[in-house]
Amino acid sequence: MSETGSNKDVSQESLPSEQATAHDGAVTPAGNPFADPGLPPHQPRIQDIDERAAKRSERTVALLFVVSMLATIGFIASYVVFPIDKIVYIFPFGHVSALNFALGLTLGTALFCIGAGAVHWARTLMSDVEIADERHPIGAESEAKATVMADFRQGAAESGFGRRKLLRNTLFGAVALVPLSGVVLLRDLGPLPGDKLRHTLWAKGKLLVNQNTNEPLRPEDIPVGSLTFVKPEGLEEDDHEFNVEIAKAAVMVVRIQPEDIKDKKELDWSHEGIVAYSRICTHVGCPVTLYEQSTHHVLCPCHQSTFDMADGARVIFGPAGHALPQLRIGVNQDGYLEALGDFAEPVGPSFWERG
Ligand code: FES
């Protein structure tokens, strides 16, 4: 019979001595390389033998819990103190939102201090005597349950949870305050949009301003066959709400020969063949950008919805649900193109109309 895998294949140096002594003093069976070495002898920590060191650790843990409480209060205060649009320079992050930075810093500090305090408490003050638990049947005997309860009480006593009131109370305070951060975050769910989606910045008398040149438009600036993107007078790119407002108020202006316009209402709402329509696709809201002069079709690049600008911008292809809303325009006494009111219907995807 082969002896491969037997002790004869193992070098003599790697074999244990005839009788090995385990860490806890137990004698292992001779010649068994897999014998349980047992637990290493327990080394008492400085906190176990010096009450002043234990007190120092206690104060350190309490300090971490207090810092956590202060950080949570700082988190709540940040909501009140920092305006949402305040940008600050912080090395090495560069320009960041002061509110976001303060929220992240304070919440991170609050959670870190609770964790660090708990770890320091466990490492320095709770008992570190290792206990080997023998395997036993799953169903516990009443005796075992009593032992568990006794161990639990002993563990609770050794953790100092009852005796070290400063630690216990500051831990309760830190853990009780942290959830308040979540309550404050609920503020971001509001306010309700109300009827904001039904209205845009367009109003009677607002000039049509070329979005590229920032100049108000006259009819003669718009040749037949051209496509011009416009925004309402007064809306500037550095406005805090620019992106929100332009997402509703973006308009494209096209000039068509008046005799080519098939829709009577479209003709009535135009000026000398100049028609203004919302740029926001009625499918899911992409900006419509591509204009085909010979067919008067505009195309949305996202899913290819196609609208006929000579026929009330009705959908002739693609998934869009309805025509692009038209903006009624005219010319003011100075000769500039102006809106004659807001859109008569909500712009953008049709699901907004159900709001
Ligand atoms: S968003 Fe325009 S076709 Fe889908």
CA of 318 to the centre of ligand 1 (A): 8
168 and 271 share one domain: no
84 in a domain, yes or no? yes
Looking at ligand 1, which atom is closest to the CA of residue 284?
1
99 and 203 share one domain: no
Question: Is 75 in contact with 110 (CB distance < 8 Å)?
Answer: yes
CA of 287 to the centre of ligand 1 (A): 8
Ligand 1 neighbours by CB, cut-off 6 Å: 281, 283-286, 300, 302-303, 305, 318-320
Query: pTM for the whole thing?
Result: 0.53
Return the residue whose CA atom lies nearest to atom 4 of ligand 1: 303
Tell me phi and psi for residue 216, to 5 degrees.
-65, 150
Provide the domain count of the chain: 2
Question: Angle formed by the axes of helices 51-81 and 165-185, to 10°?
Answer: 20
72 and 93 share one domain: yes
Question: Is 171 in contact with 110 (CB distance < 8 Å)?
Answer: no
Q: Give the pLDDT of residue 136.
A: 66
Looking at ligand 1, which atom is closest to the CA of residue 303?
3
223's CB contacts (< 8 A; 6+ apart) are: 255
CA of 320 to the centre of ligand 1 (A): 6
Looking at ligand 1, which atom is closest to the CA of residue 319?
3
The band of 1, judged by pLDDT with boundaries at 50, 70 and 90, is very low
195: Cα separation from own chain's centroid: 26
| CA count, 13 A, side-chain hemisphere, 62 | 14
> Which of helix, strand or coil describes residue 95?
strand
CA of 353 to the centre of ligand 1 (A): 17
200 and 348 share one domain: yes
CATH code of residue 215: 2.102.10.10
Predicted confidence (pLDDT) per residue in 20-44, tens digit: 444 544 455 567 778 877 777 888 8
Q: Residue type at 147?
A: T
151's CB contacts (< 8 A; 6+ apart) are: none
251 vs 156, more confident: 251
162 and 295 share one domain: no
216 in a domain, yes or no? yes
Which residues form the domain of 336?
196-354
Q: Give the pLDDT of residue 181.
A: 87
289 in a domain, yes or no? yes
**And the tokens for 67?**
């810092």
181 in a domain, yes or no? yes
Return the residue whose CA atom lies nearest to atom 3 of ligand 1: 303
Q: Out of 120-129, 159-168, 247-256, which region has the weakest mean confidence (pLDDT)?
A: 159-168
pLDDT > 80? residue 293: yes
263 and 232 share one domain: yes
CA of 283 to the centre of ligand 1 (A): 5
17 in a domain, yes or no? no
161 and 214 share one domain: no
In the chain, helix, strand, coil percent, each to 5? 40, 15, 45
148 and 256 share one domain: no
Q: Give the pLDDT of residue 18.
A: 43
Q: Give the pLDDT of residue 17.
A: 45
Give, for ligand 1, the residue of 279, 281, 290, 306 to mutate: max count of ligand atoms closer than 8 Å to Cβ. Answer: 281
E-assigned strands of the chain? Answer: 87-90, 94-97, 208-210, 227-232, 251-255, 274-278, 290-292, 297-299, 306-308, 314-317, 326-327, 329-331, 337-339
14 in a domain, yes or no? no
22 in a domain, yes or no? no
15 in a domain, yes or no? no
CA of 211 to the centre of ligand 1 (A): 22
Predicted confidence (pLDDT) per residue in 112-129, tens digit: 999 999 999 999 999 888
Predicted confidence (pLDDT) per residue in 174-214, tens digit: 999 999 888 888 888 877 777 877 889 999 999 999 999 99
Residues 9-26, mean pLDDT to the nearest whole number: 45
CA of 212 to the centre of ligand 1 (A): 24
Q: Give the pLDDT of residue 259.
A: 93
218 and 325 share one domain: yes
223 and 327 share one domain: yes
Give, for ligand 1, the residue of 286, 316, 317 to mutate: max count of ligand atoms closer than 8 Å to Cβ. Answer: 286
CA of 285 to the centre of ligand 1 (A): 6
201 and 350 share one domain: yes
243 and 120 share one domain: no
Predicted confidence (pLDDT) per residue in 39-73, tens digit: 778 888 999 999 999 999 999 999 999 999 999 99
Q: Give the pLDDT of residue 89.
A: 92
